[in-house]
Amino acid sequence: MDLLQEYQRNVTRRYFFSQGSHALGWASLASLMGRAPGVAGAEESSNATALPKTNLQHYVGKAKHVIYLHMVGGPPQMDLFDYKPVMNDWYDKDLPESVRRGQRLTTMTSGQARFPIAPSMFKFQQHGECGMWLSELLPWKAKMVDDMVFIRSMNTEAINHEPAISFIQTGNQVTGRPCLGAWASYGLGSLNEDLPAFVVMVAKPTNTEQVQAISARLWQAGYLPGEHAATSFRSAGDPILYINNPPGVPTEIRRKTLDGLKQLNELTLQQLGDPETRTRIENYELAFRMQASVPELTNLASESEATLKMYGDEVLKPGTFANTVLTARRLVERGTRFVQVYINNWDTHGNVAGRLPSQCKDVDQPCHALIQDLKQRGLFDDTLVIWGGEFGRTIYSQGGLSKQNYGRDHHPRCFTWWMAGGGTKGGTIYGETDDFSYNVVKDPVPIRDFHATVLHLLGFDHERFSYKYQGLDQRLTGVEPCRVVTEVLA
């Protein structure tokens, strides 16, 4: 295992296998990888270009792909999923100390003289066979609760955005560790050499009142080899940075220069014998094929009328959430392992009434469409869809409280996530919170349990799935004990 890791760390130095035409060569590697050695040069190069299809799975996972929809800012669980009718009697009463239990607050509300309870202003109804209570803001989710797993007892340690989002993405509040997607890319490898294994997309919310910072560090590879960082798919300009040829350079001209380049590099390889030159030659060919495959991928107009309609009116507008999740489905369909989507503006410190409906409208229908779409294409069982923010929100109001409006501060002690597909057991409602949606009272799911569960679905034992760094077997789930939440698995 360690030796293999060592090999991967040095993956750019493929000295074992290639030395021009002399040594083992790429054809042999291809055969080691369980493929027939290429007969034609083109085929050989096509096999040779991508990273070896290393697959470090400990067992066959049910999920081959993940689409992870991160709601940046932290949605208010009690306005969406965590129904607390008792709170209606508590309107504008103070949060009892017996509930808060001295828990630390952010400095945005720690100075408040009172912590008046703000019951959710939205109506809730029960749905499906599982009987999940959902807010009126989520009419599309209501149609498919029996395909979904709701975890109402998620909890985290961080209380502000930057550490919290880092924690849920990388298992550590301090930045610099690999994120979940990088781990998946590292462990599973690629299914399509013309596309990245791990892609990130940042969707634009309609309302932008309280957008939070995110940063490229969230999709970095940390101590894992650099190629496991996400490739950014963008809604404006080139979908992948620099994917388009310069103006006045059609594909045929690019091909001609690449042909010349390849011949010249082959001469260099003969001259110096550096195996890295071989890798470079292959990477230029791969880049060329990527250039060809991306326009096809991003051409959403080629989807059927019915499909587009399912995702709603905004689907063809670049950068919308609908547009982004449809692209995510197309990526997954073509073999991308992990698609990370971010959508911002869930940080409802104030104006829940004004903002939350817009946020829900942005995501509700597209999420429904995504799951129906995956089902129709037979991808649902293979693809794990995850939805949630970095923490929850307080039952008490931040700032002014009225029946018509209120705000909510950050709350780490409980929040709701949902998952679907990829080996999860549809119609599961897991975990319970107290009447105040303040503390977990049953089946808590700390972040590391959640990570362990996702890794399990991908075919990894979280305790063994590690990477040697600074002498330690580093794991996504860290050193504290944690468990796979088997209760939510199919």
281-310 residues near other proteins, rule: CB under 8 A: 281, 283-284, 286-287, 290-291
Question: Which CA distances in Å does 246 have to 27, 233, 235, 252?
Answer: 34, 19, 19, 13
With respect to other proteins, which residue has the nearer C-beta, 143 or 262? 262
Query: Rule CB under 8 A: is residue 102 a binding residue for other proteins?
Result: no
Q: Least distance to other proteins from the beta carbon of 202, Å?
A: 5
Residue of 99, 191, 261, 489 that binds other proteins (CB under 8 A) = 261
Kindly report the number of other CB atoms within 10 A of residue 74's CB atom. 26
- The number of beta carbons lying within 10 Å of the beta carbon of residue 425 is 14
Query: Toward other proteins, which CB reaches closer, 41 or 250?
Result: 250
Count of residues binding other proteins (CB under 8 A)?
A: 102
Nearer to other proteins, 106 or 439 (CB): 106
Considering only 99, 108, 121, 316, the residue that binds other proteins (CB under 8 A) is 108
Shortest separation between residue 76's beta carbon and other proteins, angstroms: 16
Of 75-83, 146-154, 226-234, 386-394, which segment contacts other proteins by CB under 8 A?
A: 226-234
| Residue 165 CB partners (closer than 8 Å, separation 6+) | 70, 72, 214, 218, 390
State the binding string over 400-429 for other proteins (x if CB under 8 A, else -).
Answer: ---------xx-------------------
Among 121, 130, 191, 211, the residue binding other proteins under the rule CB under 8 A is: 211
Closer to other proteins by CB, 40 or 213: give it.
213
Residue 223 CB coordination number (10 Å)? 15
Select 255 or 309, whichever has its Cβ closest to other proteins: 255
Q: Are 208 and 362 in contact (CB under 8 A)?
A: no
Q: Is 260 in the site for other proteins (CB under 8 A)?
A: yes
Q: Where are the alpha helices (DSSP H) in 422-488?
A: 447-457
CA distance 181 to 462: 14
Rule CB under 8 A: which of 235-254 touch other proteins? 235-238, 240-250, 252-254
Tokens of 263: 């011949």
Spatial neighbors of 104 by CB under 8 A, at least 6 apart, are: 110, 159
> What does 211-230 look like in DSSP terms, one character per residue?
PPP--GGGG--TTS-GGGSP
Alpha carbon distance 134, 284 (integer Å): 51
Cβ burial of 278 (10 Å; 0-12, 13-18, 19+) is: buried
Candidates 153, 190, 220, 298; binder of other proteins (CB under 8 A) is 220
Interaction pattern, residues 48-77, with other proteins; x per rule: CB under 8 A: -x--xxxxx---------------------
Interatomic CA distance for residues 367 and 359, integer angstroms: 12
Nearer to other proteins, 307 or 336 (CB): 336
Near other proteins in 139-178, by CB under 8 A: 159-162, 174-176
> Is 234 among the residues that bind other proteins (CB under 8 A)?
yes
| Contacts of other proteins in 28-47 (CB under 8 A) | 32-34
**Dihedral angle of Cα 146, 152, 153, 156, to the nearest 10 degrees:** 120
Report the candidate in 441, 442, 439, 435 with the shortest Cα–Cα distance to residue 93. Answer: 435
Taking CB under 8 A as the rule, does residue 106 contact other proteins?
yes
Among 212, 324, 327, 394, binds other proteins (CB under 8 A): 212
Q: What is the rounded distance in angstroms from the CA atom of residue 345 to the CA atom of residue 14?
A: 45
Q: Is 99 or 211 the residue whose CB approaches other proteins more closely? A: 211
Pick 39 or 59: Cβ nearer other proteins: 59
Please tell me whether residue 21 binds other proteins under the rule CB under 8 A. no
Residue 285: name the closest of 307, 316, 263 by CA: 263
Query: What is the end-to-end Cα distance of the chain in Å, rounded?
Result: 30
Stretch that binds other proteins, among 63-71, 180-188, 210-218, 328-336 (CB under 8 A): 210-218
